[in-house]
Protein backbone atom coordinates (compact mmCIF):
# COMPACT_ATOMS: atom_id res chain seq x y z
CA UNK A 1 0.00 0.00 0.00
CA UNK A 2 2.88 2.40 0.67
CA UNK A 3 4.18 1.87 -2.88
CA UNK A 4 0.70 2.34 -4.30
CA UNK A 5 0.02 5.51 -2.29
CA UNK A 6 3.36 7.05 -3.25
CA UNK A 7 2.78 6.36 -6.96
CA UNK A 8 -0.83 7.57 -7.09
CA UNK A 9 0.03 10.86 -5.36
CA UNK A 10 3.20 11.51 -7.34
CA UNK A 11 1.50 13.26 -10.26
CA UNK A 12 1.50 17.06 -10.36
CA UNK A 13 -2.29 17.20 -10.59
CA UNK A 14 -2.59 15.39 -7.25
CA UNK A 15 -0.28 17.81 -5.39
CA UNK A 16 -3.25 19.21 -3.47
CA UNK A 17 -3.78 15.76 -1.94
CA UNK A 18 -0.24 15.73 -0.54
CA UNK A 19 -0.53 19.22 0.96
CA UNK A 20 -3.97 18.84 2.55
CA UNK A 21 -3.90 16.31 5.44
CA UNK A 22 -7.66 15.67 5.27
CA UNK A 23 -7.60 15.05 1.50
CA UNK A 24 -4.44 12.97 1.89
CA UNK A 25 -6.11 10.71 4.46
CA UNK A 26 -9.26 10.42 2.31
CA UNK A 27 -7.21 9.44 -0.75
CA UNK A 28 -5.35 6.75 1.18
CA UNK A 29 -8.61 5.33 2.55
CA UNK A 30 -10.08 5.20 -0.94
CA UNK A 31 -7.01 3.43 -2.37
CA UNK A 32 -7.01 0.82 0.38
CA UNK A 33 -10.74 0.22 -0.08
CA UNK A 34 -10.24 -0.35 -3.84
CA UNK A 35 -7.48 -2.90 -3.27
CA UNK A 36 -9.50 -4.77 -0.67
CA UNK A 37 -12.66 -4.70 -2.81
CA UNK A 38 -10.91 -6.14 -5.87
CA UNK A 39 -8.92 -8.73 -3.90
CA UNK A 40 -11.81 -10.04 -1.82
CA UNK A 41 -14.16 -10.16 -4.82
CA UNK A 42 -11.67 -12.36 -6.69
CA UNK A 43 -11.13 -14.58 -3.66
CA UNK A 44 -14.85 -15.31 -3.34
CA UNK A 45 -15.89 -15.09 -6.99
CA UNK A 46 -12.80 -15.56 -9.18
CA UNK A 47 -13.04 -13.87 -12.56
CA UNK A 48 -16.52 -12.43 -12.01
CA UNK A 49 -17.07 -8.68 -12.51
CA UNK A 50 -16.06 -6.80 -9.36
CA UNK A 51 -18.89 -4.65 -7.95
CA UNK A 52 -18.09 -0.96 -8.44
CA UNK A 53 -17.95 1.51 -5.59
CA UNK A 54 -21.18 2.71 -4.03
CA UNK A 55 -22.83 6.00 -4.97
CA UNK A 56 -21.98 7.39 -1.52
CA UNK A 57 -18.29 6.52 -1.91
CA UNK A 58 -18.16 8.00 -5.42
CA UNK A 59 -19.83 11.17 -4.11
CA UNK A 60 -17.30 11.60 -1.29
CA UNK A 61 -14.31 11.09 -3.60
CA UNK A 62 -15.75 13.45 -6.23
CA UNK A 63 -16.59 16.11 -3.65
CA UNK A 64 -13.06 16.07 -2.22
CA UNK A 65 -11.46 16.32 -5.66
CA UNK A 66 -13.73 19.08 -7.00
CA UNK A 67 -13.53 21.23 -3.87
CA UNK A 68 -9.75 20.90 -3.86
CA UNK A 69 -9.53 22.21 -7.42
CA UNK A 70 -8.65 18.84 -8.99
CA UNK A 71 -10.38 18.06 -12.31
CA UNK A 72 -10.93 14.76 -14.13
CA UNK A 73 -7.28 14.64 -15.14
CA UNK A 74 -6.54 13.84 -11.51
CA UNK A 75 -8.27 10.49 -12.08
CA UNK A 76 -5.07 9.41 -13.84
CA UNK A 77 -4.01 8.45 -10.31
CA UNK A 78 -6.27 5.40 -10.63
CA UNK A 79 -4.32 4.22 -13.70
CA UNK A 80 -1.01 4.79 -11.92
CA UNK A 81 -2.27 2.77 -8.96
CA UNK A 82 -3.44 0.02 -11.31
CA UNK A 83 0.05 -0.25 -12.84
CA UNK A 84 1.65 -0.60 -9.40
CA UNK A 85 -0.97 -3.15 -8.31
CA UNK A 86 -0.34 -5.16 -11.48
CA UNK A 87 3.42 -5.17 -10.88
CA UNK A 88 2.78 -6.53 -7.39
CA UNK A 89 0.20 -9.04 -8.63
CA UNK A 90 2.31 -10.67 -11.36
CA UNK A 91 4.89 -12.28 -9.01
CA UNK A 92 1.99 -13.75 -7.04
CA UNK A 93 0.62 -15.29 -10.24
CA UNK A 94 4.00 -16.79 -11.13
CA UNK A 95 4.25 -18.29 -7.64
CA UNK A 96 0.80 -19.87 -7.96
CA UNK A 97 1.46 -21.90 -11.10
CA UNK A 98 4.24 -22.93 -13.47
CA UNK A 99 1.89 -24.31 -16.11
CA UNK A 100 2.15 -21.95 -19.14
CA UNK A 101 -1.48 -22.35 -20.26
CA UNK A 102 -2.85 -21.92 -16.76
CA UNK A 103 -0.58 -18.93 -16.12
CA UNK A 104 -1.67 -17.28 -19.37
CA UNK A 105 -5.33 -17.71 -18.47
CA UNK A 106 -4.74 -16.40 -14.92
CA UNK A 107 -2.96 -13.28 -16.21
CA UNK A 108 -5.61 -12.62 -18.89
CA UNK A 109 -8.52 -12.98 -16.47
CA UNK A 110 -6.75 -10.90 -13.81
CA UNK A 111 -5.91 -8.09 -16.23
CA UNK A 112 -9.47 -7.97 -17.56
CA UNK A 113 -10.89 -7.99 -14.03
CA UNK A 114 -8.56 -5.26 -12.76
CA UNK A 115 -8.92 -3.05 -15.84
CA UNK A 116 -12.72 -3.32 -15.88
CA UNK A 117 -12.93 -2.53 -12.18
CA UNK A 118 -10.76 0.59 -12.56
CA UNK A 119 -12.70 1.68 -15.68
CA UNK A 120 -15.98 1.35 -13.79
CA UNK A 121 -14.59 3.22 -10.76
CA UNK A 122 -13.21 6.09 -12.84
CA UNK A 123 -16.49 6.36 -14.75
CA UNK A 124 -18.54 6.46 -11.53
CA UNK A 125 -16.33 9.15 -9.95
CA UNK A 126 -16.17 11.17 -13.19
CA UNK A 127 -19.95 11.30 -13.51
CA UNK A 128 -20.28 12.34 -9.90
CA UNK A 129 -17.62 15.04 -10.36
CA UNK A 130 -19.80 16.68 -13.00
CA UNK A 131 -22.69 16.73 -10.53
CA UNK A 132 -20.51 18.07 -7.72
CA UNK A 133 -19.10 20.79 -9.97
CA UNK A 134 -22.58 21.90 -10.99
CA UNK A 135 -23.71 21.98 -7.37
CA UNK A 136 -20.61 23.91 -6.36
CA UNK A 137 -21.26 26.56 -8.98
CA UNK A 138 -24.77 27.01 -7.61
CA UNK A 139 -23.61 26.95 -4.05
CA UNK A 140 -23.15 30.25 -2.24
CA UNK A 141 -20.05 28.71 -0.69
CA UNK A 142 -18.33 29.03 -4.04
CA UNK A 143 -18.61 32.81 -4.02
CA UNK A 144 -17.59 33.04 -0.39
CA UNK A 145 -14.60 30.80 -0.92
CA UNK A 146 -13.56 32.85 -3.96
CA UNK A 147 -13.55 36.02 -1.83
CA UNK A 148 -11.65 34.30 0.97
CA UNK A 149 -9.09 33.08 -1.55
CA UNK A 150 -8.59 36.62 -2.81
CA UNK A 151 -8.15 37.88 0.75
CA UNK A 152 -5.61 35.18 1.54
CA UNK A 153 -3.68 35.94 -1.64
CA UNK A 154 -3.50 39.62 -0.69
CA UNK A 155 -5.62 40.79 -3.62
CA UNK A 156 -7.04 44.35 -3.38
CA UNK A 157 -10.58 43.48 -2.27
CA UNK A 158 -12.76 46.25 -0.84
CA UNK A 159 -13.39 45.50 2.83
CA UNK A 160 -17.00 46.66 2.72
CA UNK A 161 -17.84 44.38 -0.20
CA UNK A 162 -16.02 41.41 1.34
CA UNK A 163 -17.73 41.87 4.69
CA UNK A 164 -21.15 42.08 3.02
CA UNK A 165 -20.56 38.91 0.99
CA UNK A 166 -19.07 36.95 3.88
CA UNK A 167 -21.30 38.25 6.66
CA UNK A 168 -18.18 38.60 8.76
CA UNK A 169 -16.31 41.68 10.06
CA UNK A 170 -12.71 42.08 8.88
CA UNK A 171 -11.59 45.04 10.95
CA UNK A 172 -11.29 43.53 14.43
CA UNK A 173 -9.69 40.49 16.00
CA UNK A 174 -9.50 37.15 14.21
CA UNK A 175 -8.69 33.69 15.48
CA UNK A 176 -8.49 31.22 12.60
CA UNK A 177 -8.80 27.47 12.96
CA UNK A 178 -9.00 24.40 10.78
CA UNK A 179 -11.33 21.59 11.82
CA UNK A 180 -10.77 18.38 9.90
CA UNK A 181 -10.99 14.62 10.09
CA UNK A 182 -8.31 12.10 9.21
CA UNK A 183 -10.92 9.35 8.95
CA UNK A 184 -14.47 9.09 7.68
CA UNK A 185 -16.42 11.56 9.83
CA UNK A 186 -19.77 13.10 9.07
CA UNK A 187 -20.14 16.79 8.27
CA UNK A 188 -22.42 16.99 11.30
CA UNK A 189 -19.57 15.90 13.55
CA UNK A 190 -17.28 18.59 12.15
CA UNK A 191 -20.02 21.19 12.60
CA UNK A 192 -20.61 20.12 16.21
CA UNK A 193 -16.93 20.55 17.04
CA UNK A 194 -16.88 23.91 15.26
CA UNK A 195 -19.86 25.11 17.28
CA UNK A 196 -18.12 24.05 20.49
CA UNK A 197 -14.97 25.96 19.47
CA UNK A 198 -17.06 29.08 18.84
CA UNK A 199 -18.70 28.83 22.29
CA UNK A 200 -15.37 28.35 24.06
CA UNK A 201 -13.94 31.40 22.30
CA UNK A 202 -17.02 33.36 23.42
CA UNK A 203 -17.68 34.35 19.82
CA UNK A 204 -21.18 35.21 18.65
CA UNK A 205 -20.57 34.37 15.00
CA UNK A 206 -18.10 32.64 12.73
CA UNK A 207 -17.06 32.46 9.12
CA UNK A 208 -16.96 28.87 7.85
CA UNK A 209 -15.60 27.66 4.51
CA UNK A 210 -15.98 23.99 3.60
CA UNK A 211 -12.82 22.55 2.09
CA UNK A 212 -13.68 19.13 0.71
CA UNK A 213 -15.92 16.69 2.52
CA UNK A 214 -13.85 16.45 5.70
CA UNK A 215 -12.33 19.84 6.48
CA UNK A 216 -13.56 23.29 7.49
CA UNK A 217 -11.73 26.61 7.58
CA UNK A 218 -13.15 28.87 10.27
CA UNK A 219 -12.54 32.41 11.52
CA UNK A 220 -13.82 33.71 14.84
CA UNK A 221 -14.03 37.43 15.65
CA UNK A 222 -12.27 36.76 18.96
CA UNK A 223 -8.91 37.43 20.58
CA UNK A 224 -8.74 34.27 22.69
CA UNK A 225 -7.80 30.75 21.65
CA UNK A 226 -9.78 28.09 23.56
CA UNK A 227 -7.77 26.22 26.16
CA UNK A 228 -6.46 22.88 24.95
CA UNK A 229 -7.76 21.18 28.10
CA UNK A 230 -11.28 22.28 27.13
CA UNK A 231 -10.71 21.12 23.57
CA UNK A 232 -9.68 17.67 24.80
CA UNK A 233 -13.04 17.31 26.54
CA UNK A 234 -14.94 18.35 23.42
CA UNK A 235 -12.93 16.06 21.14
CA UNK A 236 -13.14 13.02 23.41
CA UNK A 237 -16.40 12.03 21.70
CA UNK A 238 -14.94 12.66 18.20
CA UNK A 239 -11.68 10.69 18.14
CA UNK A 240 -10.98 11.32 14.44
CA UNK A 241 -11.64 15.08 14.45
CA UNK A 242 -8.73 17.47 14.88
CA UNK A 243 -8.42 21.22 15.37
CA UNK A 244 -5.50 23.50 14.53
CA UNK A 245 -5.51 27.12 15.77
CA UNK A 246 -3.66 30.14 14.46
CA UNK A 247 -2.58 33.08 16.59
CA UNK A 248 -5.14 35.84 17.19
CA UNK A 249 -4.45 38.92 15.07
CA UNK A 250 -6.26 42.03 13.83
CA UNK A 251 -7.40 43.46 10.50
CA UNK A 252 -7.23 41.89 7.06
CA UNK A 253 -3.54 41.10 7.56
CA UNK A 254 -4.49 39.36 10.79
CA UNK A 255 -7.25 37.46 8.98
CA UNK A 256 -4.62 36.17 6.58
CA UNK A 257 -1.84 35.57 9.08
CA UNK A 258 -3.96 33.68 11.60
CA UNK A 259 -5.19 31.33 8.85
CA UNK A 260 -1.68 30.58 7.60
CA UNK A 261 -0.67 29.90 11.20
CA UNK A 262 -3.50 27.36 11.43
CA UNK A 263 -2.41 25.77 8.14
CA UNK A 264 1.16 25.45 9.43
CA UNK A 265 -0.14 23.88 12.64
CA UNK A 266 -2.32 21.41 10.74
CA UNK A 267 0.55 20.36 8.47
CA UNK A 268 2.91 19.95 11.39
CA UNK A 269 0.46 17.65 13.21
CA UNK A 270 0.11 15.61 10.04
CA UNK A 271 3.86 15.59 9.32
CA UNK A 272 4.67 14.36 12.82
CA UNK A 273 1.77 11.88 12.76
CA UNK A 274 0.92 13.36 16.15
CA UNK A 275 -1.78 11.73 18.29
CA UNK A 276 -2.80 15.17 19.59
CA UNK A 277 -6.24 16.21 18.42
CA UNK A 278 -5.80 19.94 19.03
CA UNK A 279 -2.85 22.29 18.84
CA UNK A 280 -2.08 26.00 18.66
CA UNK A 281 0.47 27.64 16.42
CA UNK A 282 2.61 28.63 19.38
CA UNK A 283 2.77 24.95 20.34
CA UNK A 284 4.44 23.96 17.07
CA UNK A 285 6.16 27.16 15.97
CA UNK A 286 9.57 26.06 17.20
CA UNK A 287 9.30 22.70 15.45
CA UNK A 288 8.06 24.35 12.26
CA UNK A 289 10.93 26.81 12.29
CA UNK A 290 13.67 24.28 12.92
CA UNK A 291 12.30 21.50 10.72
CA UNK A 292 10.63 23.26 7.87
CA UNK A 293 11.08 26.95 7.18
CA UNK A 294 14.20 28.88 8.25
CA UNK A 295 12.54 32.14 7.15
CA UNK A 296 10.41 31.98 10.30
CA UNK A 297 13.43 32.56 12.54
CA UNK A 298 12.95 36.34 12.87
CA UNK A 299 9.26 35.92 13.68
CA UNK A 300 10.03 33.26 16.28
CA UNK A 301 12.64 35.45 17.96
CA UNK A 302 10.27 38.44 18.13
CA UNK A 303 7.35 36.38 19.43
CA UNK A 304 9.41 34.53 22.03
CA UNK A 305 11.82 37.17 23.31
CA UNK A 306 9.82 40.37 22.86
CA UNK A 307 11.84 43.33 24.13
CA UNK A 308 14.54 41.00 25.45
CA UNK A 309 15.61 40.57 21.82
CA UNK A 310 17.21 44.03 21.89
CA UNK A 311 18.01 44.18 25.61
CA UNK A 312 21.41 44.51 27.27
CA UNK A 313 23.66 41.61 26.32
CA UNK A 314 24.36 40.86 30.00
CA UNK A 315 20.66 40.27 30.65
CA UNK A 316 20.47 37.91 27.68
CA UNK A 317 23.61 36.08 28.83
CA UNK A 318 22.24 35.75 32.35
CA UNK A 319 19.00 34.19 31.14
CA UNK A 320 20.89 31.87 28.80
CA UNK A 321 23.26 30.76 31.56
CA UNK A 322 20.39 30.39 34.05
CA UNK A 323 18.59 27.99 31.70
CA UNK A 324 21.78 26.02 31.05
CA UNK A 325 22.33 25.78 34.82
CA UNK A 326 18.87 24.14 35.11
CA UNK A 327 17.30 27.32 36.51
CA UNK A 328 19.66 27.41 39.48
CA UNK A 329 20.50 30.94 40.65
CA UNK A 330 23.58 29.95 42.65
CA UNK A 331 25.00 27.90 39.80
CA UNK A 332 24.38 30.80 37.41
CA UNK A 333 26.20 33.23 39.69
CA UNK A 334 29.22 30.91 39.93
CA UNK A 335 29.34 30.33 36.18
CA UNK A 336 29.18 34.10 35.47
CA UNK A 337 31.52 35.08 38.33
CA UNK A 338 28.94 37.52 39.64
CA UNK A 339 26.89 38.05 42.79
CA UNK A 340 23.72 36.03 43.37
CA UNK A 341 21.67 39.21 43.85
CA UNK A 342 22.86 40.49 40.46
CA UNK A 343 21.53 37.32 38.82
CA UNK A 344 18.18 37.69 40.59
CA UNK A 345 17.92 41.35 39.51
CA UNK A 346 18.70 40.56 35.87
CA UNK A 347 16.20 37.69 35.81
CA UNK A 348 13.57 40.08 37.14
CA UNK A 349 14.40 42.54 34.37
CA UNK A 350 14.16 39.74 31.82
CA UNK A 351 10.67 38.79 33.05
CA UNK A 352 9.57 42.37 32.47
CA UNK A 353 10.90 42.29 28.91
CA UNK A 354 9.63 38.85 27.90
CA UNK A 355 6.08 38.46 26.47
CA UNK A 356 5.56 35.55 28.88
CA UNK A 357 7.32 34.87 32.20
CA UNK A 358 10.47 32.82 31.80
CA UNK A 359 9.14 30.08 34.09
CA UNK A 360 6.22 29.48 31.70
CA UNK A 361 8.28 29.38 28.50
CA UNK A 362 11.75 28.08 29.39
CA UNK A 363 12.23 25.75 26.41
CA UNK A 364 11.30 28.29 23.72
CA UNK A 365 13.29 31.10 25.36
CA UNK A 366 16.33 28.85 25.58
CA UNK A 367 16.04 27.89 21.90
CA UNK A 368 15.57 31.52 20.85
CA UNK A 369 18.58 32.68 22.84
CA UNK A 370 20.65 29.88 21.32
CA UNK A 371 19.69 31.03 17.82
CA UNK A 372 20.47 34.60 18.82
CA UNK A 373 23.80 33.57 20.32
CA UNK A 374 24.90 31.97 17.05
CA UNK A 375 23.75 34.98 15.09
CA UNK A 376 25.70 37.32 17.31
CA UNK A 377 28.76 35.09 16.96
CA UNK A 378 28.62 35.76 13.22
Smallest CA-to-CA distance from 217 within 263, 168, 165, 272 is with: 263
Query: What does DSSP assign to residue 52?
Result: P
b or e along 251-278 (b: 16 or more beta carbons within 10 Å of the residue's beta carbon)? ebebbbbbbebbbbbbbbbbeeeeebbb
Q: How far is CA 228 from CA 64, 225, 243, in A?
A: 29, 9, 10
Q: How far is CA 366 from CA 18, 296, 362, in A?
A: 34, 17, 6
Residue 239's φ and ψ, nearest 5 degrees, are -65, -20
Query: What does DSSP assign to residue 213?
Result: S
User: Do 259 and 219 meet the contact criterion of CB atoms below 8 Å apart?
Assistant: yes
pLDDT by residue for the chain (378 residues), tens digit each? 888 888 877 766 676 666 778 778 888 888 898 999 999 999 999 888 898 888 888 888 888 888 777 788 888 888 888 999 999 999 999 999 889 999 999 999 999 999 999 999 999 999 988 888 777 666 667 788 889 989 998 888 888 888 888 889 998 999 999 999 877 656 678 888 999 999 888 888 899 998 877 889 999 999 888 888 888 888 888 888 999 999 999 999 999 999 999 998 888 788 767 788 898 888 777 766 665 555 677 788 888 999 999 999 999 999 999 998 989 999 999 999 999 999 999 999 999 999 999 998 898 898 888 777 766 644
pTM check: above 0.85: no
Q: Hey, CA dihedral for 318, 319, 323, 326, is it positive or negative?
A: positive
User: Do 297 and 289 meet the contact criterion of CB atoms below 8 Å apart?
Assistant: yes
Distance (Å, rounded) from C-alpha 236 to C-alpha 239? 6
CA 222 to chain centre: 22
Q: How far is CA 125 from CA 53, 128, 207, in A?
A: 9, 5, 30
- Residue 296: other Cβ atoms inside 10 A: 16
Amino acid sequence: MDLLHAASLSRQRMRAATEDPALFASTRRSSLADVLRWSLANVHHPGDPVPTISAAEAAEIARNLVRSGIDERGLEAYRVSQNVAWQLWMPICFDLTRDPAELQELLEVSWLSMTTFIDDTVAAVSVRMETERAELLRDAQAERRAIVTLLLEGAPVASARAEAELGYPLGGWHTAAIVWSDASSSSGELEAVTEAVMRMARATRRLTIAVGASALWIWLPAADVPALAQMSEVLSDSPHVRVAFGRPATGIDGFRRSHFDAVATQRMLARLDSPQQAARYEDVQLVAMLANDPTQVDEFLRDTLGRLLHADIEIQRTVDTYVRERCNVTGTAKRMFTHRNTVIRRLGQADELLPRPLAENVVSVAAALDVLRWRQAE
